[in-house]
Structure 1
Amino acid sequence: MTASALTRPGERERLSTKISEIDWRLVTLICVIAGVGIAMLYSIAGGQWRPWALNQLIRFVGLVGVMLCLALVHPRWWFRAAYPAYAVLLVLVLMVEFTPLGHKAGGAENWLNLGVIRIQPAEFVKLGLVLALARWYHTHSAEEARWSWKLLIPAAIVGAPFVLIAKQPDLGSAMIVGLTGAVIMFMAGLSWRIIAAAAIAVMAIVPPFVMFGMHDYQRNRVLTFLNPESDPSGTGYNIIQSKIALGSGGLLGKGYGLGSQSQLEFLPERQTDFIFSTVAEEFGFVGSCFLLACYLGVILISLRIASLAHSHFGRVGAAGMTAFFALFVMINGAMVMGLAPVVGVPMPLLSYGGSSMMTLMIAFGFILSMRVHRYTELPKGQGLF
């Protein structure tokens, strides 16, 4: 399919042509990672489909269909939905904080109870954040993205959900939101003077924030990360057990279904936060490296797709979606190895969970859409709708 054919005004592209333009390498890697996750959920349940593996399988199959459908959506619809989607998702985050629908789980009030289902708006707001920033940068010049008072607008777009989510308190999601916003602003060409000033400000703010701005359990997590052996049966228990699972797997692991830390339930949250430790215990260093290679492949392919997009909206958006996926991988990986505090960030596509998986599959639907419609140009002066 030539560039001219894909960009000719008014031309209706054939569905078969669009499907052939989907990057099936990316789809395959996503399925491999999710398949490993489902297999591990089956293993840690003692060879049972319930309570996790079957739900995750059904959820993933449905969301693959959603992802492929979203891949066929024209970029102009993503563009038009960017600001409204951000606004709606920000309202949902506000509803968690200020309405009776907010539901507390795991020490944080980060769920929205809608009766039939419960969702985590903090997960979905990452999508709205990336779309809103991509649209803003699409309609502004490179000079304004580098150094301008108008940068207060993307800073506010990032800051609003960051503050609300941190107040819930959901430190992990707030960290992903803040870092994703920072990465997008950096990739869009932010001046090094602003980056240096922001880095100095963060270093100055973090110590007093840890001591006076965090809840007691959050502060304990940070301090325990520095010395987990100081409280091995309390706040340091999670990290210590995770390290035991990682180390006991050796080179090739103990074998599928034979991980003592997970099977005997020494490892906490083994179906969510610490599922990567279970992979390392059962499949060892080799299995862990294979899984990390799959993650790296997803990141590199997604970045390649971002670089090929002709519209600035597509480039920034696809790179931003890739950024928060990569941040999930890096933060969870560091967390289970004791290199970062335990902040409740799941390993993407591997950990059990609905809101997180749905967010990621929508993000990949956007990335694939930018691949299918990579030659599409979006006018700079488009209005809100």
Structure 2
Amino acid sequence: MTRIHERRSLWRRMRPYFMVFDAPLAIIVFLLFATSLVSLYSAGIDFPGRVEGQMRNIIVCFIAMWIAANVPPQTLMRLAVPVYTVGVGLLLAVFMFGIIKKGARRWLHIGIDIQPSEIMKIAMPLMLAWYFQQRAGVVRWSSFLVAAVLLAIPVGLIQLQPDLGTSLLVLAAGMYVIFLAGLSWKAIAGLVVAFFASLPVAWSLMHDYQRERVTTLLDPTADPLGKGFHILQSIIAIGSGGVTGKGWLHGSQAHLEFVPEATTDFVFAVFAEEFGLAGILLLLFLYMLLIGRGLMIAANAANLFSRLLAGAISMIFFTFVFINMGMVSGILPVVGVPLPFLSYGGTALLTLGLCIGILMSISRHRKLVQT
């Protein structure tokens, strides 16, 4: 009887650490992972080990999710400045001592190769959410200017690597926090005008490969067997899926190796060819549920920091989906952004797992505050 009582007491003490998952979020993520494994089995049929590797990545993602879900928002607030500072420091180290791969200086060797820009996808909204929390009720124009500087530093360092895709994601993450903190619509309109006015300058500052991506977007048929080949084949794969798709394992574009990066950035093309418009709508519905649940958590969060952080993370998922599907379908330049929870890759899944875990932590501690 004593041992049974001890086991029950131990379970009571440990139970809060295991009952941290937000049920709706967990179900949505599980369905997306199931879709990922189905798609990767087909897309990676000529790449042995892809499904097994993704399953390992999923386990790591869930561990990261569980750890983040157990970290209270108050602790996240205390970690915001150190994490941001370390992230910027690592970006500076990349700029000075980074490893060059495929013409880009994005990695730092510290026993293993790491990509510090990935840290900023979480560190940036953390930092800005903390900054506006400190100024709750007294936000002025100067506050937004300081926030813009805090955002511009890592975005500029990432763009120097160069890494347009990650810099856009970090920029979007920061801008969502600034917008949710109360930036006026007049200011937003001014930023839009300034953006279009700066395009000629931005074009002159672009690297040659970035300009080629834009010109290829405008007319991929200009070089159909060269720079435009991949995007044309991706568009063909999506269009050939029709309404119901060709069926699982019957996607000719992917299996004949016409679609580039079929298991990573362009997995959506494989999915669309095999499951058609019906599958695309179902996938978009899952992403809408994910984003909607995140925004619901943000709306009911306990304080300004949690609301800004949860709102920004939710919209980051939207940005991932929009940019990936846009580039794969030929309406945006190719910038190397994975499709959340579907694309193969360990680093991206680790980041996404931490983001989901943070949302679960905010949801859980809202309930604790209410009770």
TM over 0.5: yes
For 1:279, the equivalent position in structure 2 comes to: 271
Alignment pair present for 1:40 and 2:35: no
Tell me, yes or no, if structure 1 residue 225 matches structure 2 residue 189. Answer: no
Q: Which amino acid aligns with 2:308?
A: V
Q: Is the 8 A contact 1:71 1:367 kept in 2?
A: yes
Cα distance in 2 for residues equivalent to 1:224 and 1:202: 22
Aligned with 1:372 (options 337, 348, 364): 364
Give the structure 2 partner of residue 160 of structure 1: 153
Q: Distance in 1 between matches of 2:31 and 2:343?
A: 14
Distance 2:160 2:353 in 1: 27
Task: Report which stretch shifted further, 104-113 or 73-82.
Answer: 104-113
Larger mean CA deviation between 34-43 and 294-303 belongs to: 34-43
Name 1:291's counterpart in structure 2. Answer: 283
Secondary structure in 2 matching 1:373:
helix
User: Is 1:62 matched with 2:57?
Assistant: no
Are the structure 2 counterparts of residues 29 and 105 from structure 1 closer, same or farther at C-alpha, using a change threshold of 3 Å? farther
CA distance in 2, matches of 1:330, 1:317: 20
What corresponds to 2:202 in structure 1?
209
Which residue pairs with 2:4 in the alignment?
none
Structure 1 Cα separation of the partners of residues 20 and 348 of structure 2: 27
Displacement of 1:98 after TM fit?
A: 1.0
Q: How much is the aligned-residue C-alpha RMSD, in angstroms?
A: 1.8
Shift of 1:375: 5.0
Establish whether residue 176 from structure 1 lines up as the match of residue 169 from structure 2: yes
- The 8 Å contact of residues 89 and 125 in structure 1, kept in 2 or not, is answered as yes
Q: Is 1:25 the counterpart of 2:4 in the alignment?
A: no
Unaligned runs of 5+ in 1: 1-12, 378-385
Does the 8 A contact of 1:124 with 1:355 survive in 2?
no
* 1:334 to 2:326 alignment: yes
Indicate how the Cα distance of structure 1 residues 294 and 157 shifts in structure 2: closer, same or farther if over 3 A, else same.
Answer: same
Residue 317 of structure 1 corresponds to 309
SS of 1:46's partner is coil
TM-score, scaled relative to structure 1: 0.88
How do 1:73-152 residues align onto structure 2 when only pairs under 5 Å count?
A: 73-99=71-97, 102-115=98-111, 117-144=112-139, 147-152=140-145
CA–CA distance in structure 2, aligned partners of residues 191 and 27 of structure 1: 35
Worse overlay, 123-132 or 230-239: 230-239
Following the alignment from structure 2 to structure 1, what is the Cα–Cα distance between the partners of residues 109 and 116?
11
* Residues in 1 aligned to 2:308 and 2:182: alpha-carbon distance in whole angstroms: 11
Conserved? CA contact 2:176–2:311, under 8 Å: no
Is contact 1:251-1:284 (8 Å) kept? yes
Percent identity over the alignment is: 39
Matched residue, 2:181: 188
Task: Give the CA deviation at 1:65.
Answer: 2.4
Q: CA deviation digits over 1:65-119, x for unaligned, max 9? A: 22123212221111110110111111222222211xx23334422222333x333
User: Which blocks of at least 5 consecutive residues in structure 2 are unaligned?
Assistant: 1-11
User: Quick check: 290-299 or 184-193, which moved more?
Assistant: 184-193
Give the ranges of 4+ consecutive aligned residues of structure 1 lying more than 6 Å apart after TM superposition.
none
CA distance in 2, matches of 1:118, 1:285: 40
TM-score by length of 2: 0.91
The amino acid of 1:138's aligned partner reads Q
Cα distance between partner residues in 1 of 2:291 and 2:327: 20
